[in-house]
Amino acid sequence: MKRSIITTGDGSTTIRLEEWQEHYHSSHGAVNEARHVFIENGLKCFQNRKIAILEIGFGTGLNAFITYLESPKLGLSICYEGVEAYPVEKDELSELNYISQLDAEAHKDIFKQMHQVSWDKEVVIAPHFSLNKRKQQFEQISDDSRFHLIYYDAFGARVQPELWTESVFKKMYEALCPGGCLVTYSSKSSARRAMLAVGFRVEKLKGPPGKREMLRAWKEE
């Protein structure tokens, strides 16, 4: 499938899949979307503790990198696991401008390391951050009460409807610890119904630029 690098609305870059007319991040702003959905409405639900995060769709590593940058401000120690079946190519990574967009020149080696470390092995990236990149299909996930927070960043239901079903969200529910939550950019009614059907308590929240709403789903304690 033909892929290209595009500049999004906030100046940050992302990958576009031409055949699907789909992007790895919002065309309205890759960094803004990541901050709003996953940091402001996900990571900031936790402070001054150690937490485990599961990302569905490691992709460009943007969400992981921003989490690495923001977690010390919240007193968080992070065990981060990112699931990805089709890793981004090296030449694509070289065209992404997240270091400059995030004013993170001092941490550019961390971003590079995130993509260079081996798959399916936990690696300590920094004293407050470990990373395990899991090369697997989302449908193969079978974790049990291991994560406090899930970043659900799969491609949209328009192109991959099978990733927004009850069966997949049941796996997400089972993967969360009681009291944990899942955040996603999607606000589709079908996704919300699937979440509710497997036991989540679901909130509609203000969406990132270009989207009216997003969803946050809690596994009750």
Say which amino acid occupies 78.
Answer: I
Q: Residue 127 has what pLDDT?
A: 97
Q: Residue 1 has what pLDDT?
A: 77
195 belongs to a structural domain: yes
Q: Where are the beta strands (DSSP E) in 135-206?
A: 147-152, 176-184, 201-206
25 belongs to a structural domain: no
CA 7, CA 15: separation in Å to the nearest integer? 9
Task: Judge whether 80 and 58 are in contact, CB under 8 Å.
Answer: no
Task: Judge whether 43 and 67 are in contact, CB under 8 Å.
Answer: yes
Per-residue pLDDT of the chain (221 residues; tens, 9 = 90+): 789 999 999 999 999 999 888 999 999 999 999 999 999 999 999 999 999 999 999 999 999 999 999 999 999 999 999 999 999 999 999 999 999 999 999 999 999 999 999 999 999 999 999 999 999 998 899 999 999 999 999 999 999 999 999 999 999 999 999 999 999 999 999 999 999 999 999 999 999 999 999 999 999 98
How many residues are recorded in the chain? 221
22 belongs to a structural domain: no
16 belongs to a structural domain: no
What CATH number does residue 165 fall under? 3.40.50.150
2 belongs to a structural domain: no
Q: Residue 68 has what pLDDT?
A: 98
Task: Judge whether 31 and 101 are in contact, CB under 8 Å.
Answer: yes
**Range(s) of the domain holding residue 141:** 30-218
Q: Residue 21 has what pLDDT?
A: 87
167 belongs to a structural domain: yes
The whole model's pTM is what? 0.97
213 belongs to a structural domain: yes
Total domain count, the chain: 1
Quote the DSSP letter at residue 216: E
Q: Residue 19 has what pLDDT?
A: 85
The secondary structure element, H or E, covering residue 79 is: strand 76-83
5 belongs to a structural domain: no
